[in-house]
Amino acid sequence: VPAPVVTIDGPSGSGKGTIAKLLADKLGFSLLDSGALYRLTALAALNAGAHLEDELAVAKIAANLDIRFAIAGGEVSAVLAGEDVSRDIRMERVSMAASKVAALPAVREALLQRQRDFRALPGLVADGRDMGTTVFPDAPVKVFLTASAEERARRRFDQLQGRGVSVSLRDLLEDIRARDDRDMNRAASPLAPAEDAVVLDSTDIDIDGVLQKVLELVQKNI
Ligand code: C5P
């Protein structure tokens, strides 16, 4: 019997990263932040001076990524070629580049097995855009977490302000809409709920409320 997987898909800022982490902690499962793999690919491509539209070049970079996820003090850090790049991969520039390289089918193909390799006992929580549709279609629990674009932009704004980064709410909203548009309208694994996913809207429920609902699904299905 393969290890159980809980997939949590949704647009950026829906809170899926936070939920995935809390859930993995609570269940003692491993965690796959698949967005980080696309971000690492984007950063490596930018560092190599590759053109982000050059599908073969970027796919090659994706296939040869030298990465590791290290856990220190409860925080997961992303290490690229021996260097901690956890902060770099969260920059807006890299976010945009990640959504561009993620639209390339050969890049998605290059990262597929790497993502499946995270599946191990006692279980995995996988967070992304196509975890329930493409990467783990047989997952016993699939959640699709959404929230309005305005609410997601506001959350990101608060998060950045808390870190002392000054940004405009309007720019963030535009970025979020551009990324949503690219994620939902690409041909390869577009962002969409799996047929058997439970759709939760976090616009008006807090993290605890969402976590409770997901835990109920886990109890029922795993
Ligand atoms: O989730 P996160 O915002 O870190 O993901 C970064 C980018 O990677 C997203 O904008 C999306 O385009 C892409 N992505 C994807 N498929 C996934 C996870 C992320 O296409 N499973």
Q: Check residue 73 and give its pLDDT.
A: 75
User: Is 39 touching ligand 1 by the criterion CB < 6 Å?
Assistant: yes
Question: The pTM is what?
Answer: 0.94
Q: Is the dihedral of CA 74, 75, 76, 82 positive or negative?
A: negative
Tokens of 32: 């796959």
Dihedral sign for Cα atoms in the order 132, 43, 184, 56: negative
Residue 120: the pLDDT is: 97
Please report the pLDDT score of residue 76 as a whole number: 86
Average pLDDT for runs of 10 along the chain of length 222? 96 92 96 97 98 98 96 86 96 92 97 97 97 98 97 92 93 93 92 96 93 98 96
pLDDT score of 55 = 98
Evaluate: CB of 108 within 6 angstroms of ligand 1: no
What's the 10 CA to ligand 1 centre distance in angstroms?
A: 9
The CATH number covering residue 82 comes to: 3.40.50.300
**Structural domain for 39, as ranges:** 5-221
Ligand 1 atom 5: residue of nearest CA: 35
Task: Describe the chain by its helix, strand, coil percentages, rounded to 5.
Answer: 50, 15, 35
- The predicted pLDDT at position 191 comes to 93
| Cα of 18 from ligand 1 centre, angstroms | 15
**115 CA from centroid of ligand 1 (Å):** 13
**Domain total in the chain:** 1
Q: In angstroms, what CA-CA distances link 211 with 24, 33, 206? A: 11, 17, 9
Question: Residue 106's pLDDT is what?
Answer: 98
